[in-house]
């Protein structure tokens, strides 16, 4: 049986959580199994991906290992120290400092959207602790950057969907429960959001 180990970058991540628990949604970064589950949930043939909340780069690394090219990957991070960490660690990737509510503007300013919309958006943001208004703003901005048929992948540590039901209804989104990842600290579940119909 494989031992459960803390992901690389745990101390950097934990320091950011200590400074601002409300802004850093988890105590440790995503583990290898959760990152693999997020990559596995990408739509078939996905090549252009946006990541929200890059953290220390666990999911970024898995996306690159899964065949997403650095120039086709845009990673958004709000925390300045984690942003600098990501830029140093992944010089081949588009790393942008900013708020996910401003994603459409930030992706446009970066030039990412000039080559087309994303096939998928993967998110490590703390939706469970967000007010509904923030959930709405982030998802509106995200789906404005997603192609028709694109997927928004969100992981959560809670026992239910991280997205409020009335927000999903208002935005016309389907929410599907994906893989449960027991070997993560803490265990997590992947959810897939897509436009209804």
Lowest mean pLDDT: which of 14-18, 141-145, 161-165? 14-18
Confidence of residue 28 (pLDDT cuts 50, 70, 90): low
Mind listing the pLDDT tens digit for each residue in 92-134?
999 999 999 999 999 999 999 999 999 999 999 999 999 999 9
pTM of the model: 0.86
Containing 85, the helix (H) or strand (E) segment is: helix 80-89
- What is the per-residue pLDDT for 166? 96
Strand, helix or coil for residue 120:
strand
Q: Does domain 10-195 have CATH number 3.40.50.150?
A: yes
Residues 75, 100 contacting (CB under 8 angstroms)? no
Confidence of residue 68 (pLDDT cuts 50, 70, 90): very high
Domain range list for the chain: 10-195
């Amino acid at each position: 049986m494989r031992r459960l180990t803390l992901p690389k970058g745990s101390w950097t991540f934990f320091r950011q959580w200590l400074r601002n628990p409300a802004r850093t949604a988890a105590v440790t970064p995503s583990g290898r199994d959760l990152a693999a589950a997020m990559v596995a949930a990408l739509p078939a043939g996905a090549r252009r991906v946006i990541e929200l909340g890059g953290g220390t780069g666990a999911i970024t690394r898995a996306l690159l290992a899964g065949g997403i090219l650095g120039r086709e990957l845009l990673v958004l991070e709000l925390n300045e120290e984690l942003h600098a960490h990501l830029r140093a660690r992944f010089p081949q990737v588009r790393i942008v400092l900013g708020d996910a509510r401003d994603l459409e503007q930030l992706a446009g300013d970066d030039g990412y959207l000039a080559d087309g919309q994303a096939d998928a958006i993967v998110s490590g943001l703390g939706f469970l602790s967000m007010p509904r208004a923030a959930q709405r703003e982030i998802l509106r901005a995200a789906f404005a950057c997603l192609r028709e048929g694109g997927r928004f992948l969100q992981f959560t540590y809670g026992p239910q969907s991280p997205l409020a039901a009335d927000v999903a209804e208002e935005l016309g989104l389907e929410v599907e429960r994906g893989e449960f990842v027991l070997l993560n600290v803490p265990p997590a579940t992947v959810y897939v959001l897509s436009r209804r119909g």
